[in-house]
Chains A and B, each alone.
Chain A
Amino acid sequence: MRGKQVIKLTVNGEPYEVEVEPHMTLLEVLRDKLNLTGTKGSCGVGECGTCTVLVDGKPFLSCLTLAITVRDKNILTIEGLARDKKLHILQKAFLEHGAVQCGFCTPAMLLTAKALLDENPNPTREEIREYISGVLCRCTGYVKIIEAIMSAAEEIRRRGSEYE
């Protein structure tokens, strides 16, 4: 087919070479080409934030990001958040605080929260509210999500590590 290109990406620390068409989104590449279905799609128009992944540490809407624009970048998806079978402290906090219900926004929420804590290890409630405002959740009412992020931030500061 016309216009196919091979791009290099690093996803969750693993190098990939993927053949993509110019119109393909990062979301399609992750889910369909790399079989990383932890990244979810929903609105397709950049409104709900469900498809958020981290590109070089910053939250990106993978449904609006053309795959060819992130060549040679470092991408973190939810599958790469746990390390050596150990959950990230944010993942543990989400479970322990009841911040997960249906779980469909959870990958995006967790990655957005990680980007926040990488930038700002000691955020206020207001700063958390603002930072996660791009990710919709229909189940929880956000209260426990904010509590979980507050608690994880404290735990990470205390340990000096994102993992136990």
Chain B
Amino acid sequence: MSEFSWVGKPHPPLKMEGVPKVTGEAIYTVDVKLPGMLVGKILRSPHPHAKILRIDKSKAERLPGVKAVLTFEDIPKVKYASSFRDMPMATSGTLQPPDQYVLTDKARYVGDPVAAVAAVDEYVAEEALKLIEVEYEPLPAVFTIDDALKPDAPQIHDHAKGNIAAHVKYPFAQGDVEKGFAEADCVVEGTFFVPRQVGAHLEPQACTAYVDPTGKVTVWSPCQLTFPLRRELAKIFSLPEGMINVVTPFVGGSFGTRLSLYCEPIAIALAMKTGKPVKIVHSKEEDFSTLETRTADRVTVKAGFKKDGTLIAMQMKVYTWAGAYAARAYLAGPILLMWGLGHYRCPNTDGECFVVYTNTTPAGAMRGYGNPEASTVVEQIMDMAAEKLGIDPVELRLKNVKKAGEPSNLGPCPIESTYEDECIRIGAERIGWWEKRKLKKQEGVKRRGLGMAAMMHCSGAWPLLIEHSSAMIKFNEDGSVNMIINPAFPGTHCWTTLAQIAAEELGISPEDVHVVTGSTDTAMFDLGSHASRTTYVTGNAVLEAAREAKRQLLERASKMLGVSPEELTVKDGRVFVKADPSKGLTIGEIARSTIWDLKGESFNISGKASWSSRYSSPPTGAYFTEVEVDTETGEVKVLKFVVVIDCGRVINPMTVEGQIQGGISQGIGYALYEDYVINKKTGVVESDNFNTYRIATNYEMPEEIEIIFINKPDPKGPFGAKGVGEPAMVGVAAAIANAVYDAIGVRLRELPITPEKILKALKEKEKG
């Protein structure tokens, strides 16, 4: 029997987290309605690069029902960073440059906001946008890395010479790569292109803002990082942080896209101007064309191995295709280097990354950013090396995976726990790796292939970024608690996981943990939901707060029962003497008499904690897949996936499985279907909705999915848990790419692997 009451057991979402979603009562940002609320809309540049010579808003202002029209002249001329300049990188000190205005006088991509209106309804607002007269002076524009790097390329930002937003050297370079390559018995190299990927959450981006008569600003936003958002908004509007309250309703998917700020400052400016609440809801075309996507990157890798498969040198050069503003591309490119060069043990490493501005949609974060990209490249290089060395791909990885205590992928901080080798071994066995590879025949129309990828990710981004979360827990008279947290909640059911952690420690049921959350005013600081951190970092804050509350509970109980606190324990809502379980009190009896104490010793049993993570507990795993490639149509069907995951001790197997299944779906999309198309002449995003940007539907999911948990506790995670949200998709595309190669013997160096690319590659192969 398990030593735990709640940890490790599948738990459906807490009633408060789940039921409103199945009854339609859950309020998302798009559903927020306030008395007197106006509709806000944004006028966006139709040009990829243009100076605004003149804006005349007078006609729009005269339209009945229009309450405000704003242009750059009406907005504080403060540059901001859409992914927050106050996210210090602990190792390199790199900060994203503030390079963006709320409303601009120089458009840098098709979709750049140039004006905004607030009106009584949607139709009037739309009409008003048409009445704003803008005279543009179109400028030459660049849409690709290569064009942006040409010597005569137009300059997108004054501060970035040659359109280079950043040139970052791999901060953890080791040894001497040239010497390493000279000593290697086998060197493989290749250049790969990994594409943009859209978050494609279903809930459109939205925001409602209200400024009350005291000047306090309330913002309803789906942002995953509410406290950093508050800080950036405070800077834009020169307000103290305490005068802004960021409220997070339910969030209809985020996947990293919602790490950044989008229409929030525009909604605030319109609310300030009108004195009314203003709500902006994007169309899906606006979402696809203006929200941050995963970056596209051109990555050149060179890796040197000894005959026995030992990796001894690795070098990477990355060109990160940023959009018109640096956004998270600033971090995504450099972190790609870290995931790529830091995954396997290697004595000689070196790398550099150029983040390149272009006149396109800003790029940066999507689920696991940097790592699915790095994995797609490095895991294919590993397979190429395995073939050249005559070593099985499984064996080659087993030879080179890191062990606990070695430096983590994100810096010199040691790995607290890893079971990557075990993941690889179990996965290979479950998919029948050796048997099937032996039987494989590369003939016939439909050809099957097996592929794999190994994975190491992170549980929070320490030591790269600060990882700070807080939690408060207070007992109510009935023995239930309020847990006050604010990690944002994009649908991972983290309230439930965090309630399981609190309940386990406090000896109560998760349903007796009433979660209080949803605004920066309510809760203490929490960085938010990113980098697979919530269970690990917020979970540790919750555990610490619960420990303190439990200490107070047992101390009070010891006085009431006349025994020492050490003799007591708590389980199933009751505190009792370990040696004599019949002697005890319910938590309700203790909590009630502590709050209502006629002796004048009243207090509220409670605990609060801030957790500032200083550890690296990378989740690890292995992905194995079997695919079938139709050599006549070029179509790839994913038949099976085996995912073995080491995310420490699994707190809630149901939600972890859900994350992995969802990760497989997004990884399949990334590998095979999702194609972000920007018109090469106009800069317009052509894949601007679900009918032109194809995500995986239920038909594309493999018939067979096997998920295996290693389930061994990490020394630093709460109850031994590590992160899992992003790892779920990190190696999926890489495994598919390797399986496609195994099936047809042609390596496609550019995702998505579309039928057209496969047919073209097969034709070229025939020609020799």
In the complex, the answer to whether B697 meets A133 with C-beta atoms within 8 Å is yes
Residues of A within 8 A of B199 (CB): 138
Of all chain A residues, which has the CB nearest B692? A47
Pick from A38, A77, A87, A138: contact of B202, CB under 8 Å: A138
Residues of B within 8 A of A144 (CB): 657-658, 661
In chain A, residues 111-164, which have Cβ atoms closer than 8 Å to a Cβ of chain B? 129, 132-133, 136-146
Count residues of B near A (Cβ-Cβ below 8 Å): 55
Residues of A within 8 A of B28 (CB): 40, 104
Residues of A within 8 A of B21 (CB): 100, 103, 106
CA distance A137 to B394 in the complex (A): 33
In the complex, the answer to whether B22 meets A91 with C-beta atoms within 8 Å is yes
What number of A-B contacts does a CB cutoff of 8 Å give?
Answer: 161
Does A44 sit at the interface, judged by CB under 8 A? Answer: yes
In the complex, the answer to whether A141 meets B661 with C-beta atoms within 8 Å is yes
Pick from A96, A98, A138, A143: contact of B253, CB under 8 Å: A138
Does B570 sit at the interface, judged by CB under 8 A? Answer: no
CA distance A138 to B705 in the complex (A): 17
In the complex, the answer to whether B252 meets A104 with C-beta atoms within 8 Å is yes
Of all chain A residues, which has the CB nearest B255? A138
CA distance A105 to B33 in the complex (A): 21
Residues of A within 8 A of B689 (CB): 43-45, 47
Residues of A within 8 A of B655 (CB): 98
Pick from A36, A38, A104, A138: contact of B695, CB under 8 Å: A138
Of all chain B residues, which has the CB nearest A31? B31
CA distance A53 to B761 in the complex (A): 45
Residues of B within 8 A of A107 (CB): 24
Of all chain A residues, which has the CB nearest B251? A102
CA distance A78 to B28 in the complex (A): 15
Does A62 sit at the interface, judged by CB under 8 A? Answer: no
Does A81 sit at the interface, judged by CB under 8 A? Answer: yes
In the complex, the answer to whether A141 meets B202 with C-beta atoms within 8 Å is no
In the complex, the answer to whether A104 meets B31 with C-beta atoms within 8 Å is no
In the complex, the answer to whether A40 meets B202 with C-beta atoms within 8 Å is yes
Does B237 sit at the interface, judged by CB under 8 A? Answer: no
Residues of A within 8 A of B283 (CB): 44
Does A6 sit at the interface, judged by CB under 8 A? Answer: no
In the complex, the answer to whether A45 meets B698 with C-beta atoms within 8 Å is no
Does A60 sit at the interface, judged by CB under 8 A? Answer: no
CA distance A145 to B665 in the complex (A): 13
CA distance A81 to B201 in the complex (A): 25
CA distance A15 to B209 in the complex (A): 35
Whole-angstrom distance from the CB of B511 to the nearest CB of chain A? 13
Does B654 sit at the interface, judged by CB under 8 A? Answer: yes
Among A94, A103, A129, A136, the most chain B Cβ lie within 10 Å of the Cβ of A103
Of all chain B residues, which has the CB nearest A35? B33
In the complex, the answer to whether A103 meets B284 with C-beta atoms within 8 Å is no
CA distance A146 to B703 in the complex (A): 12
Q: Among the listed stretches B154-162, B289-297, B434-442, B487-495, which one makes contact with chain A, having 4 or more residues with CB under 8 Å of it?
A: B487-495
Whole-angstrom distance from the CB of A95 to the nearest CB of chain B? 5
In the complex, the answer to whether A43 meets B691 with C-beta atoms within 8 Å is yes
In the complex, the answer to whether B18 meets A138 with C-beta atoms within 8 Å is no
CA distance A36 to B20 in the complex (A): 13
Pick from B24, B493, B695, B705: contact of A37, CB under 8 Å: B24
In the complex, the answer to whether B658 meets A101 with C-beta atoms within 8 Å is yes
In the complex, the answer to whether B13 meets A140 with C-beta atoms within 8 Å is no
In the complex, the answer to whether A40 meets B491 with C-beta atoms within 8 Å is no
Does B200 sit at the interface, judged by CB under 8 A? Answer: yes
Among A96, A101, A136, A140, the most chain B Cβ lie within 10 Å of the Cβ of A101
Whole-angstrom distance from the CB of A139 to the nearest CB of chain B? 5
In the complex, the answer to whether B658 meets A103 with C-beta atoms within 8 Å is no
Residues of A within 8 A of B658 (CB): 98, 101, 139-141, 144
CA distance A133 to B699 in the complex (A): 7
Does B764 sit at the interface, judged by CB under 8 A? Answer: no
CA distance A143 to B490 in the complex (A): 19
In the complex, the answer to whether A40 meets B203 with C-beta atoms within 8 Å is yes
A101-B492, A107-B24, A136-B695 known; A47+B202 contact, CB < 8 A: no
Whole-angstrom distance from the CB of B60 to the nearest CB of chain A? 20
Residues of B within 8 A of A103 (CB): 20-22, 26, 250, 252, 491
Whole-angstrom distance from the CB of A30 to the nearest CB of chain B? 10
CA distance A45 to B654 in the complex (A): 33
Does B204 sit at the interface, judged by CB under 8 A? Answer: yes
In the complex, the answer to whether A142 meets B695 with C-beta atoms within 8 Å is no
Residues of B within 8 A of A78 (CB): 22-24
In the complex, the answer to whether A39 meets B24 with C-beta atoms within 8 Å is yes
In the complex, the answer to whether B204 meets A42 with C-beta atoms within 8 Å is yes
Residues of B within 8 A of A41 (CB): 30, 204
B interface residues with partner A (beta carbon < 8 Å): 10, 12-13, 18-28, 30-31, 33, 199-204, 250-255, 283-284, 490-493, 654-655, 657-658, 661-666, 689-691, 695-699, 701, 705
| Sampled A-B contacts (21; CB under 8 Å) | A37-B31, A38-B23, A43-B690, A44-B283, A47-B690, A77-B24, A82-B23, A87-B22, A94-B22, A100-B13, A100-B22, A102-B251, A103-B20, A103-B491, A129-B698, A138-B200, A138-B662, A141-B661, A141-B701, A142-B661, A143-B705
User: Other CB < 8 Å A-B pairs besides A37-B27, A138-B201, 19 of them?
Assistant: A37-B24, A37-B31, A37-B33, A38-B24, A42-B203, A43-B689, A44-B284, A44-B689, A45-B690, A87-B23, A95-B13, A98-B12, A102-B251, A104-B28, A105-B202, A129-B698, A133-B697, A144-B657, A144-B658
A interface residues with partner B (beta carbon < 8 Å): 35-45, 47-48, 50, 77-79, 81-82, 87, 91, 94-96, 98, 100-107, 110, 129, 132-133, 136-146
